[in-house]
Amino acid sequence: MAKELVMGIDVGGQSTKLGVVNEEGEIIAQTVISSLQEELIDYITELTKAIKTLIADTAKEGKVKGIGIGAPNGNYYNGTVEYAPNLKWSYDGHGNPTIVQLASLVKSFTNLPVTVTNDANAAAMGEMAYGVARGMKNFIMITLGTGVGSGIVINGEIVYGHDGFAGELGHTIAIRDGRQCNCGLKGCLETYCSAMGVRRTAQKILSQNPDKPSLLREVDFETISSKDVFDAASKGDEIAVEIFKTTGQILGRSLADFVKFSAPEAIVLFGGLAKAKKFFHDDMVAAMEENQLQIWKGRIKILYSSLKDSDAAILGASALAW
Amino acid sequence: MAKELVMGIDVGGQSTKLGVVNEEGEIIAQTVISSLQEELIDYITELTKAIKTLIADTAKEGKVKGIGIGAPNGNYYNGTVEYAPNLKWSYDGHGNPTIVQLASLVKSFTNLPVTVTNDANAAAMGEMAYGVARGMKNFIMITLGTGVGSGIVINGEIVYGHDGFAGELGHTIAIRDGRQCNCGLKGCLETYCSAMGVRRTAQKILSQNPDKPSLLREVDFETISSKDVFDAASKGDEIAVEIFKTTGQILGRSLADFVKFSAPEAIVLFGGLAKAKKFFHDDMVAAMEENQLQIWKGRIKILYSSLKDSDAAILGASALAW
C-alpha cells in the first residue's frame, strides 16, 4: 500500500514555500515560488503548477492525500484569505483588498481537500506536533517577523474564535496612542516588536542621541534592518543594545497581559527577531515578571522555536491536512 | 424515581448564597450565610450546616446529587480557593493568604461530589445555560462588581488554562503605570472599571474641578459609591455623567484588545456597575470600535446579563454539578 503523505504550504509576503511531509513529520520534498504576482489568476496558476510537480516528484514515495495552507489572514472556517495587506494578488485592482477563496480555488485545480489557517496558527501547530511545544495543551505562539502574529492553543486546540480570526495579539495596544500601525490603529505591539518595529525604534533612538556614536550611523537611516541592529549589538554597540532592551521591555509587558487571558504553560517565540534573543530576553522576562500577577510570577516558561522558520510553517500547515 | 437536583453556591466577599436547582434550571430553594468569619473552621461549619438544611428542605422535591461552588480565585483543577484577598477565613492568622481546600472540605462533611470554579466563570456558565449567552460557543463574560472578573468561553467551554486560573482580564493593564491595584500591579482595568474604580474616578474628577458644582459634593468624599454616582447622573449631574463616560472609554479600549485574543461572538457584561449601562454604554462602544481591527468593527455584540446577579452565580455554579 502506498504511504500517506500530506502537503504543507506557507504563504509569505515574498515567497510561498511548499513541502511534502510523511507520517514521521519529515519534509521529503520542497519547492518555492514567488508570492509577488499582481493578479490572482497568475498566483493560482503558479501555485497549482508547483503543487502538481511536487506531487509527481513524490509519487513513488506515497500519495498526497490533502493540502494544508498557512497564509496571512487565513481563515480556517471559510478557507479564505481576507484583506491581507501584504499580498498584491489579494487586491481587486482598484487598491481594495478582497476576500480570496484560496481553499476552494486550490481544491478546484488539484482535486484534493484543502484547509487554510493563518500563518501563526500554522507555526503553532508545527511547534505542537514537532517542536518545543510537543505534548503541551496550553501555549501561546508569538511570531516576531515583519509583523507580529500569534497562535493560541487551549486544551490542545488552536483557538479560532467565532469567526476564525482569533489570535491577533500583534494588534493589541502596547502603547496607548503610540506608533501608527498599518492596520489603522495606534500603538499596536507590532509597531514595536517586529522587524519593522525594531527599525522604528532604531531610528528614534538614533535621532534622540545625535551625539552618541553608533555603528548604525553607517547604515542607511531609512532602511536600517533588525539584522543591522543585531550585527551592531553583537559588536557591543551601545545604541543597538538599547534598541533590543527597549524592544524586550515592551514585549515583556504585553506577554504578561496575554498570560492573564489563557494562563498558558508556555509562550513560544518564533521568527526572525527571535534570533536576537540574547539581546532582549532578559529585559523581556524582567518586564513580564514585573507586570505579572503573583500566581504566575516565575511560572510561565518562555521557549524559543527549535524548528527552522520555513520548516515550522510547512510542517504546521501540513498538520492541518492529516 | 426521585428527581435529580444540584446545588449551586456563590461565595462572595460579604455573603455566600446557596441554591438548589432542578433540571429545568429553576432555583427551588435558597438561603444565604455570611462570608465574614475570621476562622476557616467557622466558615466551613456554617456552610455545611446550611447545605444540609437546604438538602433536607428539598428532599421531597428530589435528591441533590452534587454541589458546584463559584468563589473568588476558585481553581477548577484543584478544588481550591487560592490567595483570595477578600476572604478573611482564607488567611492563616498571620495575615498571609493560604490555599483553602474548599472542594475537599465540603465533600468531607457532606459526602457529595463538589466542584469549584471562580465566580466569574460560574457567572459565564449561568449565562451560557440560562441567560443571554444561551447557545453561544464563544463569548467573554466581564463581571463589573467590587472588582472586575472575567470568564472566557471558547468552543462552548470555559477556559481554565494550564493551571486553572485563566481569565484574569480585570488585571490586564488598562493604563500603563496607572492606579495602584490591590494585586500589586499598577493600572489594572479593575482600578478603573469596578465599583472601587468608579469611586476613585469620582474622587479624581471632583478634585480636579473644585469650582464645578455637583450633587456628589454632598456625599462623603472617602466613601462615594457607584450608586451615588448613578443617582447623581440620573439627575443630570455633569460630573457624575463625566465619571461614567471616562469609565466607559477605558472599558471599551480594553474590550477591543480582548476581542483580538479570542474573537468572541459577544461580550457579556454583568454585575452591579453594569446597571449604569445607560451612562457608559455609548462611550464604551465608541472606544471599542475606535480601537478595533477592521475585521471586527461593528461585529462584536455587547450584551448585558438578563439574570438577577445572585441567580446567575448560583445557576452557573450549579451547572458545574450536573
Give CB contacts under 8 A, 24+ apart, made by B212-220.
B212/B238, B212/B239, B214/B238, B214/B239, B214/B240, B215/B240, B216/B240
Whether A161 and A264 share a structural domain: yes
Orientation of helix A195-208 relative to helix A226-234, angle to 10°: 60
Number of domains in chain A: 2
The distance of A96 to chain B (nearest Cα, Å) reads 13
Q: Is A96 exposed, middle or buried (0-12, 13-18, 19+ CB in 10 A)?
A: exposed
Whether B143 and B290 share a structural domain: yes
Secondary structure (DSSP) of B17-80: EEEEE-TTS-EEEEEEEES--SSHHHHHHHHHHHHHHHHHHTTTT-EEEEEEEEETTEETTTTE
Q: Is B183 on the interface with A (CB under 8 A)?
A: yes
pLDDT at position B127 is 93
The distance of B97 to chain A (nearest Cα, Å) reads 12
> Phi and psi for B194 in degrees, rounded to 5?
-115, 180
- Which residues in chain A have their CB less than 8 angstroms from residue B265's CB? 162
Q: Which amino acid is at B302?
A: I
C-alpha cell at A19: 513541502
Q: Is B36 on the interface with A (CB under 8 A)?
A: no
Secondary structure (DSSP) of B223-272: G--HHHHHHHHHTT-HHHHHHHHHHHHHHHHHHHHHHHHH--SEEEEESG
Q: Is residue A160 part of a domain?
A: yes
Whether A68 and A181 share a structural domain: no
- Closest to B12 measured CA to CA, from B157, B181, B155, B147: B147
Q: Which amino acid is at B67?
A: I
For an interface test with A, which of B160, B257, B290, B301 has the most A Cβ atoms less than 10 Å from its Cβ? B257
Contact B293 A183 (CB under 8 A): yes
Q: Which domain holds residue A79?
A: 4-126+311-319
Which residues, including other chains, have CB under 8 Å from residue A308's CB and lie 6 or more apart?
none
Whether A44 and A63 share a structural domain: yes
Contact B291 A253 (CB under 8 A): no
How many other C-beta atoms lie within 10 A of the C-beta of residue A30?
18
Between the two ends of chain B, the Cα-to-Cα distance in Å is 17
Which residues, including other chains, have CB under 8 Å from residue B15's CB and lie 6 or more apart?
B32, B33, B34, B35
Whether B161 and B205 share a structural domain: yes
> Phi and psi for A73 in degrees, rounded to 5?
55, 25
Q: Which amino acid is at A1?
A: M
Q: Is A200 exposed, middle or buried (0-12, 13-18, 19+ CB in 10 A)?
A: middle
Q: Is residue A283 part of a domain?
A: yes
Q: B132 by DSSP, 3-state: which?
A: coil
C-alpha cell at A54: 511536487
Q: Is A155 on the interface with B (CB under 8 A)?
A: yes
Contact B161 A294 (CB under 8 A): no
Contact A169 B260 (CB under 8 A): yes
| Cβ proximity of B238 and B180 under 8 Å | no
Is the pLDDT at B309 greater than 80? The verdict is no
Is the pLDDT at B190 greater than 80? The verdict is yes
Q: Is residue B132 part of a domain?
A: no
Segment B100-111 mean pLDDT: 96
Whether A170 and A290 share a structural domain: yes
- From residue B109, alpha-carbon distances to A37, B30, B100 in Å are 71, 20, 15
**CATH number, position B17:** 3.30.420.40
H/E element holding A226? helix A226-234
The secondary structure of residue A3, as a DSSP letter, is P
Nearest residue, CB atoms, A261 vs list B163, B166, B175: B166
- Closest to A152 measured CA to CA, from B23, B188, B159: B159
Q: Is residue B131 part of a domain?
A: no
Is the pLDDT at B294 greater than 70? The verdict is yes
Q: Is residue A131 part of a domain?
A: no
Q: B133 by DSSP, 3-state: which?
A: coil
Q: CA A46, CA A37: separation in Å to the nearest integer?
A: 9
The distance of A190 to chain B (nearest Cα, Å) reads 13
Whether A73 and A150 share a structural domain: no
Torsion of CA A10, A14, A15, A16, to 10 degrees: 30
Whether B144 and B57 share a structural domain: no
The length of chain B is 322
- Which residues in chain A have their CB less than 8 angstroms from residue B168's CB? 260-261, 263, 293
Please state the separation of Cα A258 from the chain's center in Å: 17
| Cβ proximity of B6 and B115 under 8 Å | no
pLDDT at position A1 is 62
Q: Which amino acid is at A150?
A: S
Q: Is residue A218 part of a domain?
A: yes
Could you tell me what percent of chain B has a pLDDT over 90? 84
What is the greatest pairwise CA distance in chain B?
71
Contact A169 B83 (CB under 8 A): no
C-alpha cell at B19: 441554591
- Which residues in chain B have their CB less than 8 angstroms from residue A260's CB? 167-169, 171-172
Q: Is A169 on the interface with B (CB under 8 A)?
A: yes
Q: Which amino acid is at A6?
A: V
Per-residue pLDDT of chain A (322 residues; tens, 9 = 90+): 679 999 999 998 889 999 999 998 899 999 999 999 999 999 999 999 999 999 999 999 999 999 999 998 899 999 999 888 778 898 887 778 789 999 999 999 999 999 999 989 999 999 998 899 999 999 999 999 888 999 999 999 999 999 999 999 999 999 999 999 988 999 999 999 999 999 999 999 999 999 999 999 999 999 999 999 999 999 999 999 999 999 999 999 999 999 999 999 999 999 889 999 999 999 999 999 999 998 899 999 999 998 876 788 899 999 888 8
Between the two ends of chain A, the Cα-to-Cα distance in Å is 17
- Which residues in chain A have their CB less than 8 angstroms from residue B176's CB? 175-176, 253
Confidence of residue B274 (pLDDT cuts 50, 70, 90): very high
The ipTM (two decimal places) reads 0.92
| Cβ proximity of B70 and B77 under 8 Å | no
Whether B163 and B109 share a structural domain: no
Which residues, including other chains, have CB under 8 Å from residue B152's CB and lie 6 or more apart?
A261, A262, B124, B140, B141, B158, B159, B166, B167, B169, B262
Whether B202 and B83 share a structural domain: no
| Cβ proximity of B262 and A161 under 8 Å | yes
Q: Is B112 exposed, middle or buried (0-12, 13-18, 19+ CB in 10 A)?
A: middle
Q: Is A99 on the interface with B (CB under 8 A)?
A: no
Confidence of residue B84 (pLDDT cuts 50, 70, 90): confident
Please report the residues numbered 272 through 311 in chain A whose beta carbons come closer than 8 angstroms to any beta carbon of chain B: 291, 293-296, 299
How many other C-beta atoms lie within 10 A of the C-beta of residue B193?
29
- Which residues in chain B have their CB less than 8 angstroms from residue A166's CB? 261-263
Q: CA A297, CA A257: separation in Å to the nearest integer?
A: 12
The distance of B104 to chain A (nearest Cα, Å) reads 21
Q: CA B193, CA B251: separation in Å to the nearest integer?
A: 6
Contact A261 B262 (CB under 8 A): yes
Whether B65 and B204 share a structural domain: no
The secondary structure of residue B2, as a DSSP letter, is P
C-alpha cell at A149: 502574529
Q: A43 by DSSP, 3-state: which?
A: helix
Please report the residues numbered 38 through 57 in chain B whose beta carbons come closer than 8 angstroms to any beta carbon of chain A: none
Q: Of B59-63, B145-149, B171-175, B274-278, where does mean pLDDT reach its minimum?
A: B145-149
Q: CA A206, CA A210: separation in Å to the nearest integer?
A: 6
Nearest residue, CB atoms, A262 vs list B159, B291, B296: B159
Torsion of CA A171, A175, A177, A183, to 10 degrees: -20
Q: Is residue A181 part of a domain?
A: yes
| Cβ proximity of A110 and A125 under 8 Å | no
The distance of B167 to chain A (nearest Cα, Å) reads 5
Q: Is B82 on the interface with A (CB under 8 A)?
A: yes
Whether A167 and A122 share a structural domain: no
Q: Is residue A248 part of a domain?
A: yes
Q: CA A45, CA A37: separation in Å to the nearest integer?
A: 10
